[in-house]
Chains A and B, each alone.
Chain A
Amino acid sequence: MISYPTTLADWEGFQIERVAEVCVEQSLIDAWLEAVRDGNPLYWDEAVAAEITGGIIAPTPATLTFASSYRWSPRRPEEIWDVHGVESAAYKPALRLPMEPHFALKDFTGLREGIVGGIDAEYYEPLHLGDRLTITAGIRDIGELRTNKLGTGRNWVAEVHYRNQRGELVSIERYKFFCYNREA
C-alpha cells in the first residue's frame, strides 16, 4: 500500500520503488527488433553477442518493455490498470509502472491531459537475458500553475532510475511533462 502525499509540496521528491513484473527475455526482444527492423547482432546473435557484450543484450532504449506493469496479472487478479475508466469498481487500481508517481500526481492535481516535451535518457549497464529491473520512480521540479495555448497546468519532471538484480545502475530517464486542463 502506497501512502501518497497529501499536499503539492510533499509531491516534490516523492518516490516509489518496485521490482518489475517482466524479465528480459528473447521473444520480447525479438518483438522489439521486428517493430523497428533492427538487425544489430548484439540483440539476437549469440556468437557475436558473446564476443562483444558477454551474451545477448536488450536494445538500449527498450527499458519500458521490461519495466511496464501488466494491465492485469493472475498473480494479482483483483487489480487492473484501467486506462479507459470503464472497468468495474470491484477492481483495485494496479500500480502503473514505471510512471506511477506521474499518473498519481495527475490524479492528485486533477490535471487530465499531459504531454511530454522532452526526455533525457542515460544508459549504463546493459540488460542481459534473465535480468529483472528494480524501478525507482519519482517526481521533481513541479512548476507553478500557468496557462498556455494548450490550457492551464503545471510542468514537472518524472525521473526513473532502473537497476538490475545485482544493484547495478542500468539507466536513468527524465520525462519533462506539461500536464493541464483544456480551457472550457
Chain B
Amino acid sequence: MGTYPALTADRVKAGDRLPELRVPVTATTVVQGAAASRDWQPQHHDAGWARRVGTRDIFLNTPTQGGWISRFITDWTGPTGRIARIAYRMRVSIYPGSLMAIGGVVSALHRDRSGCCWVEVAVEVKADDALCTLVNVTVALPASAGAESPWQRRAERWLVAELPPFPAAGGAAP
C-alpha cells in the first residue's frame, strides 16, 4: 500500500478552511496553461490580439484555472479525494504580473443514498486581492480511515446527477 495523505469525511466539518494556494502569475504561467490544455485561442498567448479585442493583456484560460483549483482541492484531500463537479462564475480575468490566491471553505457535507460522502467547498480565486472567479467544488471522500475509496464507485453508485444544485452565488465566505 502506498504512502500518501488521505483526508476522510469524519475529519471535516462545515467552516473548515483549506490551506491557501498562492501563485505568482507570469506570461509563462498563462501560455503554459493554454498550451497544456491545447487552447490556442489568441487571448491566452497573443498580447497584441488581447489588447485589440479590449482586454489588458493575455489572461488565464478557464481550464488552467480549473487545473489550479483541482490541485488546490487534492493537495488538501490527498489522492483519494475524487472531484465530482466544478462550477465557475467568472468576474475578472487573471493577468500576468498578478499574485493569484486560491482560498476555500467547506460549506456543507452530506451523504447520498448509496453512502457516498460528499464535501462542498466554496472557493474564491483572487488576483492581488480582487475577486476574479467564484467557484463551487464537490469532492467525495472516504467516510473514515479504511473505508471504501470513492474511486471504487462506478456509474450506478457515482450519483453526481442526483447532487443538489450549488448555491447560486458560489464562492467562499470572506
Chain A residues within CB distance 8 Å of chain B = 22, 28, 31-32, 34-38, 40-42, 45, 47-48, 51-53, 59-65, 68, 71, 81, 83-84, 113, 115-126, 168-169, 182
Beta-carbon contacts of B50-74 to A below 8 Å, as 1s and 0s? 0001100000001110111111001
Total number of A-B contacts with CB less than 8 angstroms? 126
**A38-B88 contact, Cβ under 8 Å, with A31-B35, A53-B151, A123-B160:** no
Once the chains are docked, how many angstroms separate the CA of A141 from the CA of B40?
A: 27
CB pair B36 A34 closer than 8 Å: yes
Tally of contact residues, B, Cβ under 8 A: 45
Chain B residue numbers with a CB within 8 Å of A22 are 38
B33 touches A35 (CB 8 A): yes
Closest Cβ–Cβ distance, residue A105 to chain B (whole Å): 16
Q: List 6 A-B contacts (CB under 8 A).
A: A52-B80, A59-B70, A62-B67, A83-B41, A84-B49, A122-B85
- Please measure, in the bound complex, the distance between the C-alpha atom of A47 and the C-alpha atom of B64, giving whole angstroms: 27
Q: Which residues of B contact A124 (CB under 8 A)?
A: 155, 158, 160
Interface residues of B (CB under 8 A from A): 1-2, 4, 29, 32-33, 35-42, 49, 53-54, 62-64, 66-71, 74-75, 79-80, 83-90, 149, 151, 154-155, 158, 160-161
Interface of chain A, main secondary structure: mixed
Question: Among B33, B37, B69, B75, which residue has the most Cβ atoms of chain A within 10 A?
Answer: B37
Please measure, in the bound complex, the distance between the C-alpha atom of A71 and the C-alpha atom of B35, giving whole angstroms.
13
Name B2's contact: one of A36, A51, A115 (CB within 8 Å): A51
A172 CA to B158 CA in the complex, in Å?
14
- A sample of 4 more A-B contacts (CB under 8 A), given A52-B79, A84-B42, A120-B85, is A22-B38, A47-B2, A61-B69, A168-B155
Query: Could you tell me if A38 and B70 are in contact, using CB atoms closer than 8 angstroms?
Result: yes
Closest B-chain residue to A150, C-beta based?
A: B54
- Candidates B35, B66, B75, B155; contact of A169 at CB < 8 Å: B155
Q: Is the CB of A35 within 8 A of B35?
A: yes
How far, in angstroms, from A31 to B161 measured CA to CA in the complex?
A: 31
B88 touches A35 (CB 8 A): no
- Evaluate contact between B87 and A123: CB separation under 8 angstroms: no
Closest to A51 in B: B2
Does the CB pair A65–B2 fall under 8 Å? no
A109 CB to nearest B CB, Å: 18
The complex places the Cα of A120 from the Cα of B4 at a distance, in Å, of 30
- Given the interface pairs A31-B35, A68-B39, the reply to whether A59 lies near B67 with Cβ below 8 Å is yes
Residues of B within 8 A of A71 (CB): 40
A182→B64 CA distance, assembly (Å): 27
- Give Cα distance in the complex from A52 to B78, angstroms: 11
